[in-house]
Amino acid sequence: MKYNTPTTTVLYSIEEAIKAYRKLCQKNISQIIPDITVDQGLILIMLNNNEKTQSEIADLVFKDYASMTRIIKLMINKNYLIKTTSNEDKRKAELQITNKGKKVLKQLDPIIKENRNTALNNISDREMEQLYKTLRKITNNCKTEI
Amino acid sequence: MKYNTPTTTVLYSIEEAIKAYRKLCQKNISQIIPDITVDQGLILIMLNNNEKTQSEIADLVFKDYASMTRIIKLMINKNYLIKTTSNEDKRKAELQITNKGKKVLKQLDPIIKENRNTALNNISDREMEQLYKTLRKITNNCKTEI
DNA sequence: TTATTTTACTTGATATATCAAATATATTAA
DNA sequence: TTAATATATTTGATATATCAAGTAAAATAA
């Protein structure tokens, strides 16, 4: 098998896989919590039990800081988060999950597990470990070049 | 190794890998052709020597039809494409690459190869084949569930 | 201490993603 | 042939991505 025409490259299938997975996730999340996106859910999870600033969370979920500002704003409007400025460093933003946010986190938990199981069905631990390693290589290859 | 906290899941690393790759690609493309995006380049490649309608191309590059309409519009404005309606079926759009577009395709070719080589450096054929297989599984798992 | 630089975040502009609804043409059923 | 349905694309609304420029506070240098 050749990996040199667009539709047969590994990188094309990475894109394909992640898009399919995101669609599945969003569909299942929307059925239970209509007003939250996959990424917003991920932000809630990252904030849970973690004292992180806005840009730290942004790095964790691979978001640009500008996007983060806007996503957080929407999540505040939907009453999932509260934002205050840090006392130690007034540049930093402190993000807190509201009770509504915590409730959603609980609802999210089984959905996420189910999505993961669905996506990774029939994939052995060994296979998964290998996938993980190869992806790390690709990520590092791309990043060190920058 | 466990795969159950967000930052350690395979799916998280898929996202990480594809984002790193896209950044690398965009950086290298922008150096040579400042006004074209990775996806616009991919669209040109898909259109090259292929008589495809707009939605067929959209499916190939995993784009929503609405997005496709807008991306194509921008590419026409930048004089990369010409759009006409099909004579056989007036609903369909026929897309043609302009001379400027063809020139860009030629410039793109070595960049894309280089990007691919960079990203896949140190990854054996066997490893790549395995990656490809696992990704296909994930894609199918996600799609059949929908 | 003042000036400079860095950090954390925001805003503006433009492109893209996504959903729902709309339009135009083509196909099928009655 | 007319009515109903399906297909290909577009448009509107809203969210997100990305780059560049801006703001405010903090850290560092002179």
3-state secondary structure chain A: CCCCCHHHCHHHHHHHHHHHHHHHHHHHHHHHCCCCCHHHHHHHHHHCCCCCEHHHHHHHCCCCHHHHHHHHHHHHHCCCEEEEECCCCCCCEEEEECHHHHHHHHHHHHHHHHHHHHHCCCCCHHHHHHHHHHHHHHHHHHHHHC
All domains of chain B in start order, with CATH: 6-145 (1.10.10.10)
> Is 90 exceeded by the pLDDT of residue A146?
no
Contact yes or no for B127 and A123 at CB 8 A: no
Q: Is A114 exposed, middle or buried (0-12, 13-18, 19+ CB in 10 A)?
A: middle
pLDDT tens for the 146 residues of chain B, in order: 444 566 668 889 999 999 999 999 999 999 999 999 999 999 999 999 888 999 999 999 999 999 999 999 999 999 999 999 999 999 999 999 999 999 999 999 999 999 999 999 999 999 999 999 999 999 999 998 64
Q: Is A119 on the interface with B (CB under 8 A)?
A: yes
Contact yes or no for B118 and A145 at CB 8 A: yes
Higher pLDDT, A49 or B18: B18
Residue B27 with chain A: CB contacts under 8 Å: 146
Contact yes or no for B122 and A145 at CB 8 A: no
B20-49: string of b/e by CB count within 10 Å (b at 16+)?
bbbebbbebbeeebeebbbbbbbbbbbbee
pLDDT of residue B8: 61
Query: What's the mean pLDDT in A3-14?
Result: 73
Question: Could you tell me whether strands A93-97 and B81-85 are parallel, antiparallel, or unpaired per DSSP bridges?
Answer: unpaired
Q: Which residue of B has its CA nearest to A16?
A: B139
The SS3 of residue B91 is coil
Which residue approaches D19 most closely, CA to C1'?
A66
Residue A132 with chain B: CB contacts under 8 Å: 1, 3, 10, 13
pLDDT of residue B6: 64
Q: What is the mean pLDDT of chain A?
A: 92
Contact yes or no for B17 and A135 at CB 8 A: yes
Residue range A60-84, pLDDT digits in tens: 999 999 999 999 999 999 999 999 9
User: What is the number of alpha carbons within 13 Å of residue A125 lying toward its C-beta?
Assistant: 4
What positions of strand C are covered by protein, i.e. any atom < 7 Å from a CB?
A: 7-13, 15-21, 24-27
pLDDT of residue A140: 95
Residue range A97-142, pLDDT digits in tens: 999 999 999 999 999 999 999 999 999 999 999 999 999 999 999 9
Q: How confident is the model at residue A4 (pLDDT cuts 50, 70, 90)?
A: low
Q: What is the pTM of this model?
A: 0.92
pLDDT of residue B146: 45
Nearest nucleotide from residue B65 CA, by C1' atom: D9
Q: What percent of chain A has pLDDT over 90?
A: 88
Angstrom distance (rounded) from CA B1 to CA A136: 14
